[in-house]
């Protein structure tokens, strides 16, 4: 939703860029786009031919740099070191660092506010539970002179659907719940991102291998338990069969004994046997 809204907000400036054939017109368009409400993505505008032409214009090339700043830069980069020129020769390496604020056109209050919002987005996207955003760090990173100014900025970001956050003045923490994916990617960050993804993929492979080993161990243990239970069940079955056989054999012996007793004591005694004679 936020991305669609931001792209729709940029659409009029993309249309105007086609007619901004002069460097001055293109520079004015940069100022308009970076000042307008709801424009938070600028990568597509950067790629238009007339904006690319600004890179080679000695008078207005700083407007192209301004557009780059709003696309993926931060307030700290604007205040400090944004770009570096590296010159190599056979004897030395010379690095010329340029303070961006001194080379860019002056920012209007609307542009300053937007750049702070965009910087807040970047900071919020990189925060973790172990390293939360604090009032002190944010005030320093955004050059805000009071906690109230920071709270107003965060509130504006929340109402603009740039992020979801909770202010905790008591602890001096800004708790981030979600961040809109609105910032453009610095072309130089793609290589670092690919390296991070490769490292993450390698860690995933290691975890999967470890899980496979653990699963194999669990399955082997389960198979051993199944075999042991089957052996115990077979032993119990055999024991029950032997016990049943012994019980049946005992019952047969008792029947034989009972029959023998009946045969031996079943004869009737005669009267003479009692010492009486028949008259």
Sequence-distant (6+) residues with CB within 8 A of 180 are: 2, 3, 40, 121, 161, 162, 163
Query: What is the distance in angstroms between the CA of the first residue and the CA of the last residue of the chain?
Result: 132
Residues 110 and 205 in one domain: no
The neighbouring-strand residues paired with 99 are 81
> In this predicted structure, what is the pLDDT of residue 241?
81
> In this predicted structure, what is the pLDDT of residue 86?
33
- From 179, 201, 228, give the residue that closes a domain: 179
> In this predicted structure, what is the pLDDT of residue 49?
96
Residues 198 and 161 in one domain: no
The number of residues making up the chain comes to 279
Residues 120 and 24 in one domain: yes
Residues 44 and 164 in one domain: yes
Residues 131-149 pLDDT 10s: 789 999 999 999 999 999 9
Residues 83 and 153 in one domain: yes
pTM: 0.64
In a domain, 236, yes or no: yes
DSSP characters for 101-166?
A: GGTSPPPPHHHHHHHHHHHHHHHHHT-BTTB-EEHHHHHHHHT-SSHHHHHHHHHHHHHTTSEEEE
Residues 31 and 162 in one domain: yes
Residues 146 and 20 in one domain: yes
Q: What does the alpha-carbon distance between residue 126 and residue 215 come to, in Å, rounded to a whole number?
A: 35
Tokens (6 digits) for 260:
């023998």
Scan for tokens 């980069």, then name that residue. 77
Tokens (6 digits) for 4:
């669609």
Where helices occur in 160-274 by DSSP H, the ranges are 189-264
Q: Is the C-alpha dihedral spanning 46, 48, 54, 60 positive or negative?
A: negative
> In this predicted structure, what is the pLDDT of residue 64?
95
> In this predicted structure, what is the pLDDT of residue 90?
34
> In this predicted structure, what is the pLDDT of residue 122?
92
- Sheet of 173-179, strand order: 133-134, 173-179, 163-168
In a domain, 278, yes or no: no
Phi, psi (rounded to 5 degrees) for 93: -120, 120
Q: What does the alpha-carbon distance between residue 4 and residue 36 come to, in Å, rounded to a whole number?
A: 16
Name the stretches of the chain with pLDDT < 50: 81-98, 262-271, 273-274, 276, 278-279
> In this predicted structure, what is the pLDDT of residue 133?
93
Sequence-distant (6+) residues with CB within 8 A of 76 are: 119, 141
Burial class (CB in 10 A: 0-12, 13-18, 19+), 198: exposed
In a domain, 185, yes or no: no
Question: Do residues 33 and 12 lie in contact, with contact meaning Cβ atoms separated by under 8 Å?
Answer: no
Question: Do residues 75 and 141 lie in contact, with contact meaning Cβ atoms separated by under 8 Å?
Answer: yes
Count of the separate structural domains present in the chain: 2
DSSP characters for 161-178?
A: TSEEEEEETTTTEEEEEE
Residues 114 and 142 in one domain: yes
Q: Print the domain residue range for 213.
A: 190-253
Residues 123 and 197 in one domain: no
Q: What is the mean pLDDT of the chain?
A: 81
Scan for tokens 């460097």, then name that residue. 23
> In this predicted structure, what is the pLDDT of residue 53?
95
Residues 12 and 111 in one domain: yes
């Amino acid at each position: 939703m936020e991305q669609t809204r931001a792209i729709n907000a940029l659409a009029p400036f993309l249309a105007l860029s086609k007619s901004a054939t002069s460097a001055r017109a293109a520079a004015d368009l940069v100022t308009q786009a970076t000042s307008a409400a709801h424009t938070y993505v600028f990568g597509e505008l950067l790629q238009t031919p007339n904006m690319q032409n600004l890179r080679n214009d000695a008078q207005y090339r700083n407007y192209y740099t301004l557009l780059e700043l709003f696309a993926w830069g931060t307030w700290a980069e604007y205040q400090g070191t944004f770009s570096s020129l590296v010159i190599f020769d056979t004897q030395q390496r010379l690095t010329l660092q340029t303070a961006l604020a001194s080379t860019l056109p002056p920012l209007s209050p609307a542009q300053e506010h937007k750049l702070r919002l965009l910087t807040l987005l970047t900071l919020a996207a990189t925060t973790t539970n172990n390293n939360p955003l604090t009032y002190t760090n944010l005030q320093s990173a955004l050059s805000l002179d009071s906690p109230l100014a920071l709270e107003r900025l965060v509130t504006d970001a929340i109402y603009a659907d740039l992020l979801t956050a909770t202010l905790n003045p008591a602890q001096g923490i800004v708790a981030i719940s979600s961040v809109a994916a609105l910032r453009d990617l610095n072309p130089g960050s793609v290589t670092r991102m690919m390296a991070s993804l490769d490292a993450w993929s390698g860690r995933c492979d290691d975890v999967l291998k470890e899980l496979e080993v653990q699963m194999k161990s669990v399955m082997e243990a389960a198979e051993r338990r199944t075999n042991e239970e089957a052996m115990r069940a077979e032993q119990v079955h055999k024991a029950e069969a032997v016990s049943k056989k012994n019980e049946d054999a005992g019952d047969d012996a008792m029947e034989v004994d009972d029959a023998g007793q009946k045969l031996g004591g079943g004869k009737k005694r005669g009267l003479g046997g009692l010492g009486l004679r028949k008259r």
